[in-house]
Structure 1
Amino acid sequence: MTIGENEIVSEREFDFPRELAFQAWTTPELLARWWGPKGFTNTFHECEIKPGGTWRLIMHGPDGTDYPNHSVFVEIVPLERVVLDHLSGHEFRITAVFEDLGGRTRVTFRQLFKDIAEFEKVKAFCSEANEQNLDRFGELLAELAV
């Protein structure tokens, strides 16, 4: 993990093909199963995974707190990249890049904040949350590969 001026970059290699990793990011039913830090669940209200598509969900924290989220997908490049802008609460852009490693996949997860002051407030929490998110992503890939 790298923390820049207003960006957190997490990178992880998975022992699963890029097609499976991209599918887990771009299929709403699968995305709902792994999105968010450990202990969170999701209720998706709208999830149009296409450029300009809206993603509205509520993340349910393990303590029962609900976190409404609204994002818009900016770019979808099959098997290569998913870009979305998170518009509710803290504004940031997420870019997920999928790199083929000969049957394995490297996922680079970039979270670029619009406002540096907001970034400073949440960077410690978001850094850990992003790592937990990738942990959950890997667990889902393992389930799907069976």
Structure 2
Amino acid sequence: MAETRHKTGATADREIAISRVVSAPRELVFEAFTEVRHLSQWWGPDGFSTTTRAFEFRVGGAWDFVMHGPDGTDYQEWISWTEITPPERIALLHGESRDDPNAFESVLTFQPDGGGTRIGMRTVFPTKELRDEAVEKYHAVQGGQQTLGNLAAYLTEIPRSGAED
């Protein structure tokens, strides 16, 4: 079940926080966020697909990609990783290009939760106005929830270590 929290504090009016428990071990969930062969299968809201132009998962590395909307609109995307702590945490900067002045910061956390993993996504925008635009124009909360839903569905399809063919 997806959960959205509203925080208080210095960044409260600039942030979105979403979490979801998925039925997969933390290491596999972390891998699904860190390997392009996985990301291209589930990344994005319902109806979107992703084309990767470049991918290097390391601190300072980048993922340069295009998200294709169901209406045919292409969205240029750029993610640069700023912190990687396997299998617990990933911090990143996400914008339309390398030098996007409106890029936002996101922190992904992966915590064991029963037999699954709780994924936390906390995003902080440079301004309240950019956060509000993301929520109102681009439906960022619903899109984030759908993206985690797509991940949850994908994780049920990929083989686990030690699984028999």
Which range, TM-score by smaller chain? over 0.9
2:157 partner letter = E
Structure 2 CA distance, aligned partners of 1:26 and 1:102?
23
Superposition RMSD in Å: 1.4
Gaps of 5+ in 1: none
Structure (1 or 2) with the larger CA radius of gyration: 2
Deviations 1:79-136 (A, max 9, x none): 1011110132642111110001243111001111112111112224101100000000
Of 51, 57, 63, the match for 1:55: 63
TM-score (norm 2): 0.83
Of 57, 65, 69, the match for 2:77: 69
Equivalent residue number for residue 112 of structure 2: 100
Mean Cα displacement is larger for which, 117-126 or 72-81? 117-126
TM-score (norm 1): 0.93
Equivalent residue number for residue 121 of structure 2: 109
| 1:138 matched to 2:146 | no
| 1:118 matched to 2:126 | no
Structure 1 CA distance, aligned partners of 2:145 and 2:159?
21
Of 75, 91, 95, the match for 1:87: 95
Aligned length: 146
SS in structure 1 opposite 2:24?
coil
SS in structure 1 opposite 2:70?
coil
Structure 1 CA distance, aligned partners of 2:31 and 2:147?
16
| 1:127 matched to 2:141 | yes
Equivalent residue number for residue 35 of structure 1: 43
2:5 partner letter = T
Deviations 1:34-84 (A, max 9, x none): 111100000001111110001100000001111011121111111101111
Structure 2 CA distance, aligned partners of 1:136 and 1:110?
18
Amino-acid identity (%)? 34
Mean Cα displacement is larger for which, 36-45 or 87-96? 87-96
Structure 2 CA distance, aligned partners of 1:145 and 1:11?
24
Equivalent residue number for residue 9 of structure 2: none
Instruction: Check conservation: 1:72, 1:85, Cα contact below 8 A.
Output: yes
| 1:9 matched to 2:17 | yes
Runs of 4+ in 1 over 4 A off after TM superposition: none
Structure 2 CA distance, aligned partners of 1:109 and 1:76?
14
